[in-house]
Structure 1
């Protein structure tokens, strides 16, 4: 957990603790009588346990799934270690079950566990069961206090179709689209009131007869019939019929909006699950994607609500969300969060959006003459105000009696309501670090208490909701940011498995929600190795920082990431990605407004850096650099310079090797140093002393002398001595010459005549020392030269804060190629197809479908071969080339496979000619020489 624990759960107040309340009014909100069962995983479970303990709640239990990522070797997890009574630790196979029957069975199990063990409440955190209407209703019926929105709110706000209708009714802007595909499907077969009434009678559906005699719209009557059918557990339409309807709707929208893609969303999805985007001209794939969606959210059973929303995909979408809280009477907003930095609907970096921060940024932009930026920020202030107003209005309309999130998409100067998540979000800490809630005694304005934790607020609302007065929003920090540390590879593809064998301690000011992973064993003081099971999602931890400005929080986050060290067996994380991305924004413009489509082009640009760097032979480059530096010198001087450069070889090459092997880190450095050089007639010219840049590079890579790390990870002693001596030399030279600017100092050093502050002999010694210190530093120019050879520099922030993305970075084929550069596929023989990642294998689209391929089948490049489920997401894998299936090497669906495992034995249509090692080496030397021509 964070070593800044007061920032994690700062809720121990003298006016809140039992027996120490300052007034009877405050004391009435004591929550020690709540006895909750925690049925969620990961950091939120640990956070809930801490909050409950600090609130004086002593009797609580935790429910563990057999698939849960609470796997330590030779040590108890912190959650388990803190549980003094083992009878309060309960286990189930998984939290939700794989289908409707298992889900209902799990709900009954949870209720029984609660009754048998004296729990009177349930806390479900941000898992999907937290917004499962059936589960919440079952808890309420069983007499349990559900810590979260009530079942009516979950139904009215949580189901995406119901929420959209409510939004329209209360004047909230919504995305163009169709929210009643199932009703339209039913009406194709039963097109009038009489046939709908007969259908209801045939299936004994509980619908008041006055519904059929009312003046309700026909599609609303159809919705009533469908709702009754779900309650009874019968199907009135088939998946195929639904697919036909959705296909028709998509075709109509594609004709009306030819320049937009179409988004399909299951009404019960969320967190990226149950959503697909149809590209322009891909109407024919609609049925395939509908089936994928229903299978992913496990609503293919009889009686499941299979409704799928069809929405216009706003192509310049920024994903923003508003935190809302209410007690069923009052409802207030708590600022926003920008979650646009995401991929495959999975959020990566989440940034607070507060009125205070936006207004301050707007004022700074105006003062500094950045007119377009000021206009963009002024527009954002207006949009935030509108979204907060709509969020509170919508929350009141659905009777919100807990904490929820109002999600919107923002398209420049307009916004649309997308959905409401009736649960606490993973990123809730971003909000609670910016705002607290102050509850004040209506009869005494000096009497009250402050709540800094949204989990605490949920408990208070569950226990005392109706009596809680409308709170005041209190500013804590202007800005905060959260980076999701995930188990993913360099291309941000989920990477299941792996063991964290070491993780450096949190820094002062760093907030780390990590389920206690980074703790040492309290008995042995040895780091507790942690196995990433990854059955539910790829998240390892949440890393947060706070500050007075967005630049402040990004710089603090960059420093935390810079000094973080993590290693382990088969471990892949997005730590380097975050370090590069945060520095990209610091170097470009911290107020930039990326859309949800930004990350893939950004990854593609990083892939281009990796591709170019991968063709550089550094050893060959160094030999060429030495040859260039000594060319034309007399033999003795050349030998002396070669000796000097030999001593500097590791000083200069080691950080370059790191940069070339870590393209995300390379990206961040290029961004923050984008003004350090100028391209003159195609050649790199430094605006900054290369020696100073080299020292900063070692620091950027956390390779400074004195860092507690193995020798392979820090600067070597003799290199450090050379670098320090060079730094001291130039500091003295700047001081004595009175010249601060590097370019001016270079001009001075080119003159043989000594300046006034030096005698002639001394000046010649200075010039000779300068040549020695600079010798070989030319090779550093390979870094910007590589960037200039890609689209990296063109990926930039416009004056109006939008991001310019070159067309090449938007090309899907190029994007796929660069993803493979970032993470090369496993080496396979010509007659095999190997698993691209570990996960759960499925040979077919749905349990009822035929396998994609069988032995003897011919497949074309781009045909689907199988589905891999990795960390809750279903990913369809397509054939990279054409061929014939000789044998399928995985016998059953649902089998766990590992990366690189052979899946199919095949005969390719064409044999691939492999490049020889000699050919590769020759190509690398040729490419290196081409780059050096721009550097030396």
Structure 2
């Protein structure tokens, strides 16, 4: 096992990995940008080093500086968390070349799965069902029109090197196709440095279901159950749960088997996620995420598998701690991503200082966070405040528990999406498990959010008043204590003079 690991990330995921390291008696090294100097993750680590200014391009994406810190501190491995360099094949290759273990898959696996066209071809070769579409990148508009007509409208245009839904556009008729392709190519070139785009059949009411996989270097590959990730805004997940409401033992066996087959087909190692679209009884490979997912806590809660620890063990050359028959999903888990953003203003980020922060707790509640009262949510990075995860014996108890946990959460100083989560938990379609990736639009959730916000105005005003009174009391007490101390000091000095 490693003796020391550098975590090339920040916030809650950095702390999550450090916790796993601490339980495995591994020393940790944090790296931080100028604005993160006093962040909780930098204080939690055994060692912490500055790596540059606030912009990620000058700090958390600075490969040379991060690897240099690893060498100087004697870190044997680098855990990239999620985002930043976690799916960067060049960084993984640099680690391999520099003799530092990259706690993730090989650079070759990242490269193969990072390009959606290459990934799709690999899945076809492995016999995994894929969404019908073009065989490769679009280079001829006439051929594109023929492909769209063959698979049938609507279709979706995607960037081959893309991610996070950037550049994706739906086309419902031939007249819009060429213009949309050109537009997506421009976005792809600007965002990813690669203008290649492709066409797929657009599934009207799909669910987004993904399978967590683990694979070691001895050829052992297992899946750790599925996650339902259909509640999204702009193709970004907001609420996840495990198991999926639509899952049956037979379907889980089929999808899980294909997820394992997909990972084995590319000689994958470490933790990863095979993502599927599920529609009308059929499922199709969407993409593979070659890293630890943001929503990994719900899998850990229902299976008892510590995914971060398994990552470390695998990267250290150990065999998997589990076999497929060991994996059992017990109960139900739901995760809400609490962000500093305004759901009533198109989920626009809301950076600022947390005047008050109190997370929820109690039975069946897990909070993954890297913030505290007085912490500032900066505009430089993702607006995630915390990941709130609950466990229940069944889905109904998990929903009820999440509603209670959301009620307990107090965040003052920034606008958050907590009202959004409350609206979803109260929605009858969500409670029935009738989910699609268009859930927010289909059920006009934003209107429900408006009602939640309106209903909570009085509570918010009362809380604000109470906090103002508390601030005044604290200020008065602080002033009184300061005056008392100063009087005592003056008395001591006068006594000394006598």
Common fold by TM > 0.5: yes
2:17 matched to which residue of 1? 48
Q: The residue matched to 1:600 in structure 2 has which SS?
A: helix
2:242–2:333 Cα contact (<8 Å) kept: yes
Which of 87, 112, 124 is the equivalent residue of 1:131? 87
- TM-score, normalising length: structure 2: 0.84
- TM-score, normalising length: structure 1: 0.46
Structure having the higher Rg: 1
Aligned residues: 462
Once the two structures are TM-superposed, the CA of residue 504 in structure 1 deviates from its matched residue by: 2.4
Cα deviation code 1:656-702 (max 9, x no counterpart)? xxxxxx42457xxxxxxxxxxxxxxxxxxxxxxxxxxxxxx9xx999
Which of 151, 154, 162 is the equivalent residue of 1:260? 154
Distance 1:540 1:427 in 2: 14
1:265–1:276 Cα contact (<8 Å) kept: no
2:104 matched to which residue of 1? 148
2:231–2:238 Cα contact (<8 Å) kept: yes
For the pair 1:108 / 2:60, whether they are aligned, the reply is: no
1:382 matched to which residue of 2? 250
Query: Equivalent residues in 2 for 1:744-893 (5 A)?
Result: none
Distance 1:564 1:702 in 2: 16
Which of 270, 293, 307 is the equivalent residue of 1:402? 270
Once the two structures are TM-superposed, the CA of residue 341 in structure 1 deviates from its matched residue by: 0.5
Which of 335, 345, 353 is the equivalent residue of 2:225? 335
1:263–1:312 Cα contact (<8 Å) kept: no
For the pair 1:350 / 2:230, whether they are aligned, the reply is: no
For the pair 1:92 / 2:52, whether they are aligned, the reply is: yes
Distance 1:348 1:467 in 2: 30
1:489–1:572 Cα contact (<8 Å) kept: yes
For the pair 1:601 / 2:442, whether they are aligned, the reply is: yes
For the pair 1:310 / 2:195, whether they are aligned, the reply is: no
Q: The residue matched to 2:380 in structure 1 has which SS?
A: coil
Q: The residue matched to 1:119 in structure 2 has which SS?
A: coil
Cα deviation code 1:42-79 (max 9, x no counterpart)? 21101111111111012x2112234x6x47xxxx3322
Once the two structures are TM-superposed, the CA of residue 138 in structure 1 deviates from its matched residue by: 1.3
Which of 479, 489, 511 is the equivalent residue of 2:366? 511
Once the two structures are TM-superposed, the CA of residue 106 in structure 1 deviates from its matched residue by: 2.6
Q: The residue matched to 1:573 in structure 2 has which SS?
A: coil
1:686 matched to which residue of 2? none
Once the two structures are TM-superposed, the CA of residue 336 in structure 1 deviates from its matched residue by: 0.6
Gaps of 5+ in 1: 1-30, 186-244, 300-304, 359-376, 437-451, 519-527, 611-661, 667-696, 714-936
For the pair 1:454 / 2:414, whether they are aligned, the reply is: no
2:170 matched to which residue of 1? 277
Distance 2:144 2:385 in 1: 38
Once the two structures are TM-superposed, the CA of residue 159 in structure 1 deviates from its matched residue by: 2.7
2:411 matched to which residue of 1? 566
Which of 65, 79, 85 is the equivalent residue of 2:41? 79
1:157–1:323: structure 2 CA closer, same or farther, 3 Å change rule? Answer: same
1:710–1:457: structure 2 CA closer, same or farther, 3 Å change rule? Answer: same
For the pair 1:292 / 2:187, whether they are aligned, the reply is: yes
Once the two structures are TM-superposed, the CA of residue 260 in structure 1 deviates from its matched residue by: 1.1
Once the two structures are TM-superposed, the CA of residue 110 in structure 1 deviates from its matched residue by: 2.3
Distance 2:70 2:228 in 1: 37
Once the two structures are TM-superposed, the CA of residue 157 in structure 1 deviates from its matched residue by: 2.9
Once the two structures are TM-superposed, the CA of residue 423 in structure 1 deviates from its matched residue by: 0.4
2:225–2:329 Cα contact (<8 Å) kept: no
1:383–1:414 Cα contact (<8 Å) kept: no
2:8 matched to which residue of 1? 39
Cα deviation code 1:343-389 (max 9, x no counterpart)? 101111101126xxx6xxxxxxxxxxxxxxxxxx5x74433322111
Q: Which moved more, 1:496-505 or 1:464-473?
A: 464-473
Q: The residue matched to 1:566 in structure 2 has which SS?
A: strand
Once the two structures are TM-superposed, the CA of residue 250 in structure 1 deviates from its matched residue by: 4.0
Q: The residue matched to 2:57 in structure 1 has which SS?
A: coil
Which of 122, 136, 161 is the equivalent residue of 1:180? 136
Once the two structures are TM-superposed, the CA of residue 540 in structure 1 deviates from its matched residue by: 1.6
1:591–1:532: structure 2 CA closer, same or farther, 3 Å change rule? Answer: same
1:485 matched to which residue of 2? 338
Which of 210, 215, 218 is the equivalent residue of 1:321? 210
2:18–2:45 Cα contact (<8 Å) kept: no
Cα deviation code 1:440-495 (max 9, x no counterpart)? xxxxxxxxxxxx31111100000123586746534363210000111221334222
Distance 1:504 1:146 in 2: 35
Q: Which moved more, 1:157-166 or 1:463-472?
A: 463-472
1:61 matched to which residue of 2? 29
Once the two structures are TM-superposed, the CA of residue 544 in structure 1 deviates from its matched residue by: 0.6
1:534–1:385: structure 2 CA closer, same or farther, 3 Å change rule? Answer: farther
Distance 1:584 1:602 in 2: 9
Distance 2:252 2:185 in 1: 33
Distance 1:278 1:64 in 2: 43
1:711–1:534: structure 2 CA closer, same or farther, 3 Å change rule? Answer: closer
1:592 matched to which residue of 2? 433
2:51–2:65 Cα contact (<8 Å) kept: no
2:239–2:336 Cα contact (<8 Å) kept: yes
Once the two structures are TM-superposed, the CA of residue 41 in structure 1 deviates from its matched residue by: 2.2
Q: The residue matched to 2:293 in structure 1 has which SS?
A: coil
1:455–1:84: structure 2 CA closer, same or farther, 3 Å change rule? Answer: closer
2:495 matched to which residue of 1? none
Once the two structures are TM-superposed, the CA of residue 118 in structure 1 deviates from its matched residue by: 1.2
Distance 1:131 1:572 in 2: 30
Cα deviation code 1:297-353 (max 9, x no counterpart)? 3x1xxxxx5433322221111111000011140111111111110010111110112
